[in-house]
Structure 1
Amino acid sequence: MNQLAIELNEKIAQVNPHVLEMLSALGRRIYFPVKGILSQSAEAKKLAKRYNASIGTAMELGQAMALDSVMDSLPGWNPSDALLYAPSPGIPELRSAWQEKNLHDNPTLQSYSGSLPVVTNGLSNAISLAADLFVDANDTVLLPDMNWDNYHLNFQDRIGAKLQFWKFFRTGGLDCASFREALAAQVPGSKILCLLNFPNNPSGYTPTESEGQELADALLATAARGVNVIALVDDAYYGLFFEENIMRESLYSKLAGRHPRLLAIKADAATKELYVWGLRIGFLTFSVGGAENNSPLYAALEAKTAGLIRSTISNSSQLSQKIALRALRASDFYEQRAAKAELMGKRARAVRQTLDSHPEYAEYFVPYPFNSGYFMCLQIKKGDAETLRQKLLQKFGVGTIAITSTNLRIAFSCLEVNEIPDLFQLIYQAAQEIEA
């Protein structure tokens, strides 16, 4: 094992040995090469006042060398800001700005320690990095039965983890008892990664405050029994809340810094929060009981994450990071964000009003509970979801997603309010034609 990895592991163990136990074999081996090209180039950037011949970029007249045909598409940007490499863990100013946004949105976090967010190449990359750091083949990953298929690709197919599932819904809300039962089966001394995603994809459901507290209490109780718990909170759709009685803070706020055997990881992204899907900017933030702010443990986890980034994609786009930073620094950022969330809320309410106005639809499909995010999900009562999806697509030119044989996902985020009633009428018509 590289000496740098050994040193990082020792720093983690000195603060909290349970976190070292949670790391995968790769997580223990990985390190950021602080004594290599990147560190030498960083030193040169600070001290090489005459000539800097250290890094693999091309310079011209004190700026990044650029083609006019490229810069013509980037008015208002200088070449160095737009085109040069970013640090592997991300631009420091963006990392700090995202942390400030998270503290603004989740004031509970001001009372608990945590790492500085590490910039990732979108939410998918954040999930992948967490998987690499903490999951080995045959480790247990606990998911709700309502989940995003990319979790399977990451944990089961790429790493070889064993997936276990809990029942997401009971009548009218979240099945917290199913979650507790799944955790109760874990034996002391074992390790489990629990992935929780709210607003949920595909259902569009966020727990009530009491449901969220039940989830947090179950995770804390499991840690207290001697199980090493990694709680990976996927906040991809954070902020899109359309009802008053649901959690407004991330579930991460109920887990951060609460127990030495409970490592909370917040995976979030500019992707949906800033409406910049193709810019591919996400973040990973860590918190565990027993570690203070600026703890060597957090610095070590940040370094290991940066090492994984360096060894795969090297860094995320500097231009994308700079665009996100400009948005976060805008004086009316929160007002802009609230206006878009209100528009999304109008679409969600239009879905609910449409379904409430047409009780006849319930013969063929009924909605699962939804109150947030981009999506809602229909439970198909006659036939199967894939047949219905094909009918909608081939005859009516309507695109939907068949999640399972009984569940059809609708992205109302893509629809104007006036299009929503017609969409559901077409789903009803297609279901009738299939039955006939």
Structure 2
Amino acid sequence: MSVNPIAQELNAIIKNGNPHLMEMLSKTGRRLFFPKGILTQSAEAREKADPKFNATIGIATEHLDTMYLPSVMGYINREEIKARECLTYAPSYGLPELRHLWREFICEKNPSLAGKTISLPIVTNGITHGISIFADMFLDPDDVVIFPDKMWGNNHLVMAVRRDAVISNYPMFNDRGGFNLDAFEKRVRMEADNNYKVVVFLNFPNNPTGYTINEAEADRIVDILTDIAEGGTNIIAVTDDAYFGLRYEDEPISESLFARLCDRHSRLLAVKLDGATKEMFVWGLRVGFITYGTKVMHGEAVSLYEALEKKTAGGVRGSISSASHIGQRLVLKALGSPEFRRERDAKVMILKRRANLVKRLLAGTKYNDAWDVYPFNSGYFMCLRLKTVEAEALRLHLLNQYRVGTIATGKHDLRIAFSSVDEENLEALFDAIYRGAKDLAR
């Protein structure tokens, strides 16, 4: 298939800024572009046409304003959000003001980004869609993607099933209850020896275990990836920051690994996947973001990043057209609220109290004959490693006999979302799980 001239132009910009990025892009990624067609013509018309005669975009208007049904807009405060601010199409890139504000939000939460250049985030329909767009951009069949053995199952569906990538795992924890740096390094170096490009997913807080690495572990991960890039292998380090900021102890890192990786080496591309979804407790609004960071070798960083943004927006345009306008508008309004940070901190504190209670409940010997506990210090979840029964059998038994819902994530791993259980019900929850395990063991 021939490559569109616009895609060729974007490829030339990327190759000039950092030629290694062209080696990282998938066949689809090299062909992607943002079309000029209807969207460009409509933008020109909004700027120059008389509103009475603007017959370009495929929405309906009346009286020179957005047409709407009162039965729809009646549920929306029209003093706060106008019909044109929520019912019309959002740009495929996302709302410009939201993209700029989210980059400011990223930099506020990651102070070590000061002085570094990163792209403007592209808005996706939640982080799952962000992973899918990333896969379109960077994964060809048989490309290797490295995960710990404790990983979110949907990653397999998005990357292995839909893009034919190869998922390569390493054991996440060592015998001391920390991140298994030796296994991580061995796996990445092994794949780097056999491939010109390796994708490494770094998901902290981790789903399903709720573990976030500490400073020493973070430094070592960055050093390993930088050294492998220095050796000539292209590394794409994807930080899946879905649960970013939800940490309940002092030891875990407070910043995303993206901040440490985004300018380390020209053969290392850092990709940040995050969103309002979990960070702002607005799961159904489906507002996620993709942000890029790398070392630019020639020219202006802004040109390189704009080329990547256009390709990414082309991927959004070619899949869902654009993410929800009303979802983006609500996130934008909330981020601008003077109460936002105080309100969010209060909710995080509720989750912290639950996490700490779970730790206290599981710290003694009461349940020791039924399970071990994987390390956890952040996020929504924690995981049990069952000693006497298999997880799926216990999950079904708990559901049918005790009306308790859990998730089996492996043969002996049971995930517990303490985020969805009120504090006063947590002890009863674990008592029920213990009884269910003893039932099956007998």
Both structures adopt the same fold (TM-score exceeding 0.5): yes
Equivalent AA in structure 2 for residue 348 of structure 1 = A
TM-score (norm 1): 0.98
RMSD value, Cα: 1.2
Match of 1:318 among 312, 317, 325: 325
Partner of 2:289: 283
What does residue 162 of structure 2 align with? 158
| TM-score, normalization by structure 2 | 0.96
Query: Partner amino acid for 2:373?
Result: P
Verify the 8 A CA contact 2:35 2:314 in the aligned structure 1.
yes
Q: Distance in 2 between the 1:316 and 1:366 partners?
A: 42
Equivalent in the alignment of 2:59: 57
Q: Check whether the contact 1:233–1:264 (CA below 8 A) recurs between aligned residues.
A: yes
- Residue 112 of structure 1 and its aligned partner are, at CA, apart by 1.4
Q: In the alignment, residue 416 of structure 2 is paired with which amino acid? A: I
Query: 2:337 — aligned with what?
Result: 330
CA distance in 2, matches of 1:181, 1:111: 33
Paired with 2:439 and 2:189, the residues of 1 have a C-alpha distance of 46
Match of 1:299 in 2: 306
1:68 to 70, 75, 79: 70
Q: Offset at 1:110?
A: 1.6
Match of 2:126 in 1: 122
Deviation digits for residues 248-304 of structure 1 (CA, Å, limit 9, x no counterpart):
000111101111000000000100011110010000000111268752111011000
Contact 1:129 1:308 in 2 (8 A): yes
The total of aligned residue pairs comes to 434
User: Per-residue displacement from partner, 1:184-215 (whole Å, max 9, x unpaired)?
Assistant: 11128710111110000000000011111111
* Residues 189, 226 of structure 1: 8 Å contact kept: no
Structure 2 counterpart SS, 1:373:
coil
Equivalent in 344, 351, 362 of residue 355 of structure 1: 362
Deviation at 1:143, TM superposition (A): 0.8
Task: Kindly indicate whether residue 44 of structure 2 is the aligned counterpart of residue 40 of structure 1.
Answer: no
Summarize deviations over 1:12-39 as a string: whole Å, max 9, x none. 00010000110000000010012x1000
Q: Distance in 2 between matches of 1:288 and 1:87?
A: 25
Cα separation, 2, equivalents of 1:301 and 1:362? 51
Note closer, same or farther for the CA distance 1:386–1:55 as it changes in structure 2 (3 Å cut).
same
Code of the residue aligned with 2:110 in structure 1: it is: N
CA contact (8 A) 2:17 2:301 kept: no
1:91-130 CA distance string (max 9 Å, x none): 0000011001100000111221110000000000011111
Indicate the residue corresponding to 1:404 in structure 2: 410
CA gap 1:119/1:227 in 2 versus in 1, 3 angstroms: same
Structure 1 position 365 matched with structure 2 position 367: no
Alpha-carbon distance, 1:228 to partner: 0.4
Gaps of 5+ in 1: none
State the AA in 2 paired with 1:55.
I
Aligned counterparts, 1:35-434, within 5 A: 36-50=37-51, 51-76=53-78, 77-171=81-175, 172-185=177-190, 186-187=192-193, 190-290=196-296, 294-357=301-364, 359-434=365-440
**Matched-pair contact (CA < 8 Å) for 2:146–2:201:** yes
Contact 2:203–2:239, Cα closer than 8 Å, also in 1:
yes
The offset of 1:72, in angstroms, is: 1.2
Range 144-153 or range 183-192, more displaced: 183-192
**More divergent stretch after superposition (174-183 vs 293-302):** 293-302
The answer (yes or no) to whether the contact 1:118–1:306 under 8 Å persists in 2 is yes
Looking at structure 2, the residues matched to 225 and 14 of structure 1 have their Cα atoms a distance apart, in angstroms, of 21
> Is the Cα–Cα contact under 8 Å of residues 114 and 293 in structure 1 kept in the other structure?
no
